[in-house]
Structure 1
Amino acid sequence: MIVGVPKEIKTREYRVGMVPAGVRALTMAGHTVLVETNAGVGSGIPDSEYQRVGAQIINSADEVWKRAEMIVKVKEPIAPEYERMQPGQIVYTYFHLAGVDPELTKTLIKKKVTAVAYETLQLDDGSLPLLKPMSEVAGKMAIQVGAACLEKAHGGKGILLGGVPGVRRGRVAVIGGGVVGLCAAKVAVGMGAEVTILDVNLERLTYLDDVFLGRAQTLASDTESIARTVRESDLVVGAVLIPGGKAPKLVSRELIGEMEPGSVVVDVAVDQGGCIETCKPTTHDNPTFTVSDVVHYCVANMPGAVPQTSTFALTNTTRPYSRKIADLGLVEAVKSDRALQRAINTYNGHITYEAVAKDMGYDYVPLMDALSGKK
C-alpha cells in the first residue's frame, strides 16, 4: 500500500501523523511511505530521519494526496484539503465530524472516502485508545491555560489557583470524570486548588474518590449540582465526551452570566461542539474571547501546542492500526478487528457511525451492510 503523511495545515498545528518508527514498520513490510517536506519539523523530526528509515520525501502536498491510497494525519481535513482527497481514498485521522464543518462530511460522502476516525476506535471494554493520549494532554493543558487566563493581564480575576497562606485557593470545577477530567483534576490538585469533579457515572465517581483520597470533591452531575458548582468556581473545565456525537450543552449562557467577572472556562469538548453553550472554536493565534465578562478558552487542537509530547504519545497508539490496514487491506482489517470497525465513520458514500449520522441528519448504514454492498 502507498501511505501518505502530509504536513498539517491547521493554525499552529505542529503534530505529524507518523514518526520514523511507524515509517520503518511499514517500509520493512513492503509498503511505500510518502512524507511531505517538513511534515515532522514542528515535532522535532527532520526530513533526514524519515529518509533514513525508507520514506520518500515529497515537496508537494498535492502529490502526497494524489499518490497515496491511505493518508495518515492528526487533524481532520480542512477546506484547502477537500479537493485533495481522492475518490475511494482511506483517510486515517481525528475527524470529530459532528463538531466540524459539515462540508467535510459532504465531501467524504461525495468522494466515497473511507474516514477512519481515531476518536471512535473503541475496544470492547468501551475504552478509546486513540483518543486517550490526546485527552491526557488536553486535560493537563486545560489547567495550565486556565491558570494563565485567570491572571489579570489576560482578562481573569487575578486568582492564583494554589493560593498562599492566609488567602483562599482557587476553585476549579471539572465537568466530566473521564480521561480529560481525571488529568485536569490531577494537575489542579497538584497546584493546590480546591477541585470538584462532576460526573453522571457513580462507579466512576467512586474510583475518582479513591484516587484523590479526599483531595478532590466528587459530585453526582445534575442540573442543580452543575449550576451551584459553576457559579462558585473560578475555573470551569468542560470535559464531557459522547463518542462520535455532539457534546451535550451542560452549562447554559444564563449560567455563564451568573459567574463572577474574570472567571474562566476551558471547553475541551469543543471538538465535538462543546459542552458550554457560549463556546465557539478558537485557535492558538486567538485562543480566548469573553462572554458576560467570563474568559473562554476554546482552542480545538490544544495538544498541537506541545507537539513533541503529543505526536509521540499519539503515534504510539495509532501505529498498529495503520499497519493492519496496510497489511490486510481495509476490508479484511475491519472484519478482523471490531475496534477498527467502530472507527469507520464513512465508507463508499455512506455514514457508518450511528451517532454521527443522527447528529448530522444523515441515514445510518451499518458498516457490514456497506461493505457487502447491501446499501
Structure 2
Amino acid sequence: MIVGVLRETAPRESRVALTPEGVRKLSTAGLQVVVEEGAGRGAGFGDSAYRASGALVVADRATVFERAGIVAWVKPPAFELDSMPLRAGTTLLGFQDPHYRRDEIDRLRGLGVESVAFDLVPRDDTTTEIDALSTMSRIAGAVGYAEGRKLLTPQVRARPVRALVLGCGVAGLAAIAAASTFDDEKPTAIGNRPEQETAALAAGAGRFVPNQDDNAALLDHLATTPPDLIVCTAVHRGSHAPRLLDHGSLDLLAPGTVIVDLVAKAGGNCVATVPDSTVTLPNGVVVTHRSNYPTARAEAASQAYAAATAAMILRIVQRQS
C-alpha cells in the first residue's frame, strides 16, 4: 500500500496531514509514503525531514494521486478532485466537511472512491487514537477564545472579560479554560444536559446553565447578564448545529459584543454567521468564523493530527488485508 500526503490548499491552512514522525511509523509498518513537495513547510517540517523518515517527495499533487491508494489531507482541497487522476479503490482521508460536501462524497463513492471523514469518527473509548476531531477541537476552542477576545474594544479588553460558552464538548471546555489565561471572569457555560455541569465547572466555568429546546434559559441569561464574548461550540458530530442565537437573541446584545462561531461548517449556532468571514451587524455585534483555528498552532496541531492519521491508515490497511 502507498500512502499519499498532499500540500494543503485551503485558505490560510498551514497544517499537514502527516509529519515525518508519522511517515516513520507507517514505514516501519511496511507502507510506502509519497509526500507532495512543500507539504510540511508551513508547520515547520522540511522536505529533507520527510526524505530522512523514508518518504518519497514528489513535485506535484497529480503524482501523489497517481501513486497512492490512500490520500491524506487536513482540509478538503481547494482544487477540483476531478482534475486529478482519481481511480476506483482510492481512499481519501481527512476532514471532509460532510455537511457541505455530501453530494460530492456520494458522487465519488459512485466512482469507487471512498471518503473517510474524521468529522464522523465517534467519540468513545474505542476511537481515541483516531479521534482527530477532538484534538483539533481542543486547540480550536482555546484559539477561538483568544482570537475573539482580540476583536473586543480596547476598553473591554482592559478589564476582565465576561464570556459565555455555548456547548460543553471538547471545544467548549477548552474555551472555558482559556479564560483563566487572560485573568478574565469565569465564563458561564450553556449546556443541554445537567450532567455536563461537573466538567464545565472543572474546566473553570463560574456557572452552568442547562438550556432546553425552547432556549428560554439562554435568552434569560442574555437579558440579565449580557456577555462581552460568546464562543459557540454546540454540535453533535455528524449532525447539523442547533441554531441557538437567532435574531431575537442578537437584539439583546450590546454593540461591540463578539460572537465566535466554531461550528459554522455544521450550519452554525448563530443565525448571522458567515463561514470564513467576520461581519459586523447593524446593532454593532461582531460575528466571526474561521475554518482553521488550529493552524495558529500549526506544528503542535500537525503532530496531533498526524498521530490520528497514521493510526487511521493502519486501521484501514488492517481491514483491507
The alignment's TM-score, normalised by the length of structure 2, stands at 0.90
Residue 138 of structure 1: SS of its match in structure 2? helix
1:233 counterpart (220, 227, 252): 227
Residue 249 of structure 2: SS of its match in structure 1? helix
Q: How does 1:238-317 map to 2 (within 5 A)?
A: 238-282=232-276, 287-292=277-282, 293-317=284-308
CA contact (8 A) 2:26 2:310 kept: no
Q: How does 1:7-18 map to 2 (within 5 A)?
A: 7-18=7-18
Q: Which amino acid aligns with 2:200?
A: L
Q: CA shift at 1:329, angstroms?
A: 4.5
Q: Which amino acid aligns with 1:316?
A: A
Q: Which amino acid aligns with 1:229?
A: H
**1:38 aligned partner:** 38
Q: Which amino acid aligns with 2:300?
A: T
Deviations 1:287-345 (A, max 9, x none): 4111232111110111123211210122223322212223x254x6xxxxxxxxxxxxx
Q: How does 1:76-225 map to 2 (within 5 A)?
A: 76-84=76-84, 85-98=86-99, 100-125=100-125, 129-151=131-153, 158-160=155-157, 163=159, 169-194=160-185, 195-212=187-204, 216-222=206-212, 223-225=215-217
Separation in 1, partners of 2:107, 2:23: 28
Q: Which amino acid aligns with 1:47?
A: D
Q: CA shift at 1:124, angstroms?
A: 4.4
**1:63 aligned partner:** 63
Structure 1 runs (4+) greater than 4 angstroms displaced: 123-128
Structure 1: gaps spanning 5 or more residues: 153-157, 164-168, 333-375
Separation in 2, partners of 1:258, 1:49: 53
CA contact (8 A) 1:96 1:244 kept: no
**1:369 aligned partner:** none
CA contact (8 A) 2:33 2:55 kept: yes
CA contact (8 A) 2:143 2:293 kept: yes
Structure 2: gaps spanning 5 or more residues: none
Residue 159 of structure 1: SS of its match in structure 2? helix
Separation in 2, partners of 1:291, 1:112: 45
Separation in 1, partners of 2:249, 2:123: 36
Q: CA shift at 1:258, angstroms?
A: 2.6
Separation in 1, partners of 2:306, 2:68: 19
CA contact (8 A) 1:171 1:233 kept: yes
Q: Which amino acid aligns with 1:226?
A: L
Q: CA shift at 1:141, angstroms?
A: 0.6
Q: CA shift at 1:49, angstroms?
A: 0.4
Q: CA shift at 1:250, angstroms?
A: 1.0
Q: CA shift at 1:106, angstroms?
A: 4.5
CA contact (8 A) 2:132 2:304 kept: no
* 1:9–1:275 Cα change, 3 Å: same
Separation in 1, partners of 2:144, 2:260: 6
Separation in 1, partners of 2:87, 2:257: 46
C-alpha root-mean-square deviation of aligned residues, in Å? 2.0
Q: CA shift at 1:183, angstroms?
A: 0.6
Q: CA shift at 1:138, angstroms?
A: 0.4
CA contact (8 A) 2:274 2:288 kept: no
Deviations 1:201-247 (A, max 9, x none): 211112322453xx521111231221233451111110112111111
Separation in 1, partners of 2:113, 2:69: 10
CA contact (8 A) 1:241 1:269 kept: yes
**1:321 aligned partner:** 312
Q: CA shift at 1:131, angstroms?
A: 1.1
Q: CA shift at 1:54, angstroms?
A: 1.1
Residue 263 of structure 2: SS of its match in structure 1? helix
CA contact (8 A) 1:89 1:113 kept: yes
Q: How many residues align?
A: 312
Separation in 2, partners of 1:230, 1:127: 37
Tell me the percent identity. Answer: 28
The alignment's TM-score, normalised by the length of structure 1, stands at 0.78
Q: Which amino acid aligns with 1:68?
A: A
